[in-house]
Amino acid sequence: MHARGVFYICMKNEQSKFHLSLGLSYPNLEDAQRGLRDKLISRVQYDEIAKAIRNRDLPPWNTPLGGEIMIHGCKDGRDTTKGCIAVDNPEIEELFQALPMRTPVEIRP
């Protein structure tokens, strides 16, 4: 899964196993609409995602659409990731301090 689109920072984790991490609001409304259309999620799941996005909260990460897409630092000096965005530790430290919750983030291919 590769999240692309416009999201916002919906959580900050100082205890991340990847140094620090910023959670992104994936799935967003566009992803939820596609998931509902393609029958990947139920109407209830869609409504939960839509409500979270409307309130700029953390959307449910436990649906078939997935979740827990993060911008994070490196573990053991390696930028290993499974669908997240890994940056060097000094970069995540700067981002973590500079970006408040709900800051818009655009992920491009």
**pTM for this structure?**
0.89
pLDDT in tens, 60-109: 999 999 999 999 998 766 666 777 888 999 999 999 999 999 999 999 88
Nearest CA to 25 out of 41, 3, 46 is that of 3
pLDDT score recorded for residue 44: 98
Place of tokens 């509902």: 36
pLDDT score recorded for residue 18: 87
Place of tokens 């818009």: 104
pLDDT in tens, 8-61: 999 999 998 888 999 999 999 999 999 999 999 999 999 999 999 999 999 999
Enumerate the domain spans of the chain. 5-107
C-beta neighbour count of 77 within 10 angstroms: 7
